[in-house]
A and B are shown apart, each in its own frame.
Chain A
Amino acid sequence: MSLSIDEVKALAKKVTTSSERAHYNGIVKLLAEFPAQPLPDVDEHGDSDREQHLRFLAVALFQVFKKLFARGELAPLSAKKQQAAGPAVVKFNQWCRKLYASFKTKLLAVLALYTQETSLALDCLDLYMQLLEQESVHFASRKDAPFFPNKTLAALIAALWQSRMDGDASQEVDQASGESANFLLLEFRDKYYKPFVDVQYYTQAELAELVVAGTVRTDDADGIAAAKWVALTNHDNHIDSPDAELEVFVSNPPQAIENESKFKGLLERNWCTFLNGTISPQLYKTILTVLHKRIIPHFHTPTKLMDFLTDSYNQGGIVAILALNGLFELMVKNNLEYPNFYPKLYQLITPELMHVKYRPRFFRLMDIFLASTHLSVHLVASFIKRLARLSLSAPPSAIVIVIPFIYNMLKKHPNCMIMIHNPKYISDPFQTPEQQAQLKAARASYADPFNMDEADPENTGAFGSSLWEMDSLMQHYHPNVASLAKVFSQPFKKMSYNMEDFLDWGYDSLLAAEASRRLKVLPVLEYETFDQVVADTPENKTSDDSEDAAGRAVYLPNITW
């Protein structure tokens, strides 16, 4: 605090320019200058001077220690060297190392304890990583020996996991995905974790250790540890990813980093521990959405995820829909046998399904699950009927999925055609009177056997029902939806619809399609005229003659201004 920038510069210069030991005490002074605790009154704008000062100090110290590294005064002395050098040197070496350790601690303190987004913290992170690189060269047991300073990295990871951002919640956790938005972590991920293979390997290894040691707790109340973990690993650039392009960070890392299988094991272990910890609902959804693409491939034994997925699937609702993808992956590749799969799937078709954005994902999978022609007719009919029923209050984007889907199902299971065409109830002019009487009786006694509330798709009675819903949707207000629904009344000539054409419609795309239409023919005007668009307000009504008001054509009689 007392030293000015010039003084800092002078002190640092003395140490760096000459190896005169007398100057080394300057380091102590400089270190003392560096605060161990974050400044309590740091605010974002008013403190640029102070921040600049600290940054300068940190850089100066970094230069000093770099010099010391170069002079070999920081490298640990082997027993042989210790003997050769004598106690004074050993003591001096230990003193230097202590200084260096305290510098590192202070840097980490900045990282761990700063609660605001500052460039100082980012600089500290960079400096720390550069020190790490220096260490890997100079702390190796002998020259050119492969070495990675994993303890140093472990300290950094602990600090990153300790770091918390104050203020706005969105700075710590991304609201939409539930992933951590800690800027230090993101910086570390983008700059060091993603591109460097050795950093990845040792981060995973050390993180596993830290979790065991209890330094990183996965059961924290707000699930931030898991959020950070997901933020760190939710990308496709891992060592074992097929098309990852990675480099090494330190000049001569140990061979261990090339062991993909070991890395997988570590990653798997870490995933399992974090999945067992606290996970926020948003993060839960995020994990489930990426599970089949970014998590399962990194597992030696994906079956370890079975319990997690089964639990998720049993939760029902959106979580279950999302878990379906991972579950499917396990079923296909790992022979996961899921009891009562179809009833569960049937129960997933809820009114909410029609209104959530994960709808296409679900339908894509359902298309696969129901692709088998060996399914029972009752089961298929139940699915068809339930979808049809739900489409009665669904947005057009969902209806345009349901219609081709049902069409494809009917094509695949022609037995179910009875749901749109039951020849038993067709009246025919050539029928005899008794046949007609029979038909009339049959029609009169017919009751829809479908039970919407039945959970088991084998017992819903849908097969005896009929798709009146599709018939009614031919009257849909959107002309394209209506004409799409009319396929059911036309001969089934088309082989099948390509579902991909229909999955991703939404109000936005429908309206965009409308907006892109050019005004070829002028829109037709209403010839009917209304005297008023809405009814008079009661205040005005008093002034009007009551019999006059009665004779006026009002567009919306139940609304006033």
Chain B
Amino acid sequence: MAGSQLKKLKATLKEHGLTGQANVKKNLKNTKRKARDYDREEKNKVISKIREQFNPFEVKTAKNKRDIDTRASASKDRVAVGKPGISKQIGEQQRLQAYEARKLLKNRRGGVVDRRFGERDKNMTEEEKMLERFTRERQSQSKNKKSLYNLEDDEDVYGDDNGADNFGMTLTHGGVALAADDEFDDAADGFSGKRSATYGDDEDGSALGNSGPARKKTKAEVMKEVIAKSKFYKQERQKTQAALEDKIDDLDEDFDDIMSALMPTQTKPKAIQPKSDVDISYDTKFRELNADQRAVPADRTKTEEELKKEADEKKQKLEQQRLDRMKGMVEDEEGEERGVEDLDDGFWSGNDEEDEEERMADSDDDIKFDQDDEGADSDSGRRPFAKIAAIPCPATHDELLSILEKYSLGDHPKVIRKIVKTYQPKLAEGNKEKLGKLTAIVLRHIMFITSQDYESFIGDFEPVINALISLLKTLSEKYNRDLSEECRTIITEIQDRFRKHHYAGLQLGDVVFFIIVGTIFSTSDLYHLVATPSILLMAEILEQLRYNTTQKIALGAVLAQICLKYQRLSKRYIPEMLYFFEKALSILLGSSSDKATDANDLALAKNTKFEKDDSAVLKLHQLFNKRDSKDEEFKKTVTLNILTSLDIAISSTWKDLSAFPEISSPIEIILLESTKQFPTLSRATELYDKIARLSKFIDHTPLSLQNHKPLAIPSHAPKFEENFNPDKKSYDPDVTRNEINKMKAQIKKERKFTMKELRKDTRFEARQRIDEKKKEAAEYHSKMAHIYNTISTEEGAEKNKYEREKKLRSSKK
């Protein structure tokens, strides 16, 4: 296309049918249709396109990177990305608006801006204004409507048949709402093209405020208004309905008043009359009956089997817990399971830190003794010490001793039981602490009386000590804490004594203490605050005693038995016990190859004969009395006892260990020798055979302790980044840092933008101010010029007048 820019423009406009004669008569129909097809907006679009085309600077373009291969590469090698001119213009307009708004508010107090629609429009009637406002309101509301298709959202209460209340949801065809079909048809039928600008005239008849801008409304606007209107009517109907309902409600409310006004009879409040006795008795009876518990079926007496089952279940549960503890699955307060390995973190190298709060054992329950205890108590009540109630609760062992002084040994358990009953925790505050102390004292007392020489009255002594121990066991359930603490103190004491005086520092009470710990505490636990130190201490005694008297060997034998009992369930290995067995047996059976031991004379006499019914039962009181250590009978008993323990050790613990042959080999040698020396010692022979038999069964093949699952080698293959771009900065593997950087970049960008905007604002404002100044100055100058002009014209006129007058006068002259 050649020619000047103007020519080109004209040609283009014509091409698009935008210029030229609008109403060509000859093809009237076509044009009409055409005019109809062309929407205003479409026309605008076309015009703007043409404008773009003719102003290459109106559009900002960038190189097209997407469709390089398209045929129309020539035209599509650049794509539009923005319209700087227009956006600048928009910005300018916005600024201008803001500026003007600010200017309006300048030097004014308060900032209420009347934003009501048409408030200052003098061409609108009040009703029109209202209608318009309502329409706007609804429109803004409809924009906020969450979901267009939400059926639940429908507020149509009355089931209006008019579809228009589904606001904004109009069926269209070809962009034209179907609801407007009749209109369209009308227009198509006979109207001569120009539709009336307003919609309302055919319906309202009145209110033709057509003096406003005679702008042609778009289809969308028209539709909206139609819809708004129908909405308005619906609203009106709803209002009337609501008003009606209100009225009915009011009437309903008033009904009672009216009725009461109509009812002439009144009920007088009865005077309160004193109730007759009958009534009172009736009332009480009534209340009693009410308070009476309804007959409820009593808990069924459980059958024997059920009781047994329950007990079994409980036992099973306890056993399971015990097993867990044995394996070291300690459940501490947080409920976290702690494994064995946690136990010795830092144990060998440093101190362990202790910071935990103590846990309180709490239960105010009473101590309940077994039935037979109670019975024993009650019949003892007839005896002289029935007035025991006055006994103070002892706080130390000495106090207890001074209390017990008055009673015979046989009464000790009863007295203590009485004290416990007197100081039941429920009876008074502080009793719990007292009984806690008492528990510790009872333990001390047991240790005390067993340390006495009781051999002469052993018959009386035994039931007493048994009763005391069972009492302690009962108390221990409630006063565990006090008892445990006391036990730990006692362990330290025994250790101190043993360290300083060795054998001389020990008493029978200490042995009894170990036994009691074994019966009261769960010794099978992997770690136990009382049992672990006490078995450690027993092992120490076993290892460090110098076995040069039969009593010491007997003590060792008893300790070994207790140790075995401690490990009867957990079956842990005690090296010291092997050491003791080796030592003691080699001394007693005279096979000690060690010449240095000063205990060779403790060996059994060469001609000792063992009988079948020789007792293996050791008497505790013999452990610490200073009798002749050459008592053959005692030696025999000790020997048999040790052999019995050895048997238990072998069959309970050792046989399960992989090192059984290694463990038993020294014992085997001793036993072999002893069978030669003492053919009558059948026990030794049996044991020897047993060891030989068990050795056969044990799997004694080389270990494979390191047979671990093969460890996976961690793979460090490079991670492949898709769409890698070295320019991209965000290949940071650190996610947080990456985010931070992104945020920083965004902030920078925003700041830049804002700065730019602010600068533009200031520049605009400055420009505006200069404009205003100029305007003011121009006004001033023109005003002044005007004044000058008028003055000069007036002056001129006057002068002329004067001149004329002068001329006139002079002429007159």
Give the B-binding residues of A (Cβ under 8 A): 355, 389, 391-396, 399-400, 417-426, 443, 446, 448, 465-469, 471-473, 475-480, 482-484, 486, 488-489, 491-492, 498, 501-502, 505, 507-508, 510-511, 513-527, 529-530, 532-537, 539-540, 555-561
Contacts and interface: CB of A to CB of B under 8 A. Distances in A.
Contacts of B219: none
B62 interface: no
Given A521-B359, A559-B617, A468 B705 contact: no
A556 B701 contact: no
A420 B703 contact: yes
B532 A479 contact: yes
Contacts of A394: 575, 579
B761 interface: no
A519 B535 CA distance: 18
B165 interface: no
Query: Does more than half of chain B's interface fall in helix, strand or loop, or is it mixed?
Result: helix
B480 A525 contact: yes
Contact of B533 (A391, A489, A515, A521): A515
Contacts of A486: 340-341
Contact of A533 (B469, B484, B579, B661): B469
Contacts, number: 284
Residue among A479, A484, A486, A530 with the highest chain B CB neighbour number at 10 A: A479
A513 B361 contact: no
Given A355-B543, A515-B533, A524 B522 contact: yes
Contacts of B616: 558
B497 interface: no
Contacts of A479: 328, 340, 343-344, 526-527, 532
Nearest to B541: A507
Interface string B330-361: 10110000001101100111011010101101
A472 B653 CA distance: 10
Residue among B352, B462, B491, B708 with the highest chain A CB neighbour number at 10 A: B462
Interface stretch (B194-202, B374-382, B559-567): B559-567
Contacts of B516: 533
Interface of B: 315, 318, 321-322, 325, 328, 330, 332-333, 340-341, 343-344, 347-349, 351-352, 354, 356, 358-359, 361, 454, 458-459, 461-463, 465-466, 469, 473, 476-477, 480-481, 484-485, 488, 491-492, 495, 499, 512, 515-516, 518-523, 525-533, 535-537, 539-540, 543-544, 558, 561-563, 565-567, 571-576, 578-579, 582, 616-621, 641, 644-645, 653, 657-663, 666, 699-708, 711
Nearest to B361: A522
Contacts of B328: 479
11 contacts: A422-B704, A446-B700, A465-B702, A507-B543, A518-B358, A525-B480, A525-B521, A526-B520, A536-B462, A557-B617, A558-B616
A446 B700 CA distance: 8
Contacts of A525: 476-477, 480, 520-522
A556 B344 contact: no
A558 B701 contact: no
Contacts of B359: 520-522
Residue among A389, A473, A477, A479 with the highest chain B CB neighbour number at 10 A: A477
Residue among A400, A530, A539 with the highest chain B CB neighbour number at 10 A: A530
Given A355-B543, A491-B706, A561 B522 contact: no
A389 B701 CA distance: 16
A159 B301 CA distance: 98
B561 A467 contact: no
A526 B519 contact: yes
B525 A524 contact: yes
Contacts of B527: 479
A560 B565 contact: no
Given A473-B573, A477-B573, A522-B359, A395 B530 contact: no
Contacts of B520: 525-526
B705 A561 contact: no
Contact of B703 (A471, A480, A515): A471
Contacts of B515: 533-534, 555-556
Residue among A399, A473, A516, A558 with the highest chain B CB neighbour number at 10 A: A558
A475 B562 contact: no
B754 to A, nearest CB: 58
B519 A530 contact: yes
A394 B580 CA distance: 10
Contact of B575 (A393, A488, A523, A536): A393
B522 A526 contact: yes
A422 B347 contact: no
A431 to B, nearest CB: 14
A523 B480 contact: yes
Contacts of B540: 395, 507, 511
B101 to A, nearest CB: 73
Nearest to B707: A426
A324 B185 CA distance: 125
Contact of B618 (A472, A507, A560): A560
A470 B91 CA distance: 87
Contacts of B704: 421-423, 425-426
Contacts of A516: 351-352, 354
A525 B480 CA distance: 8
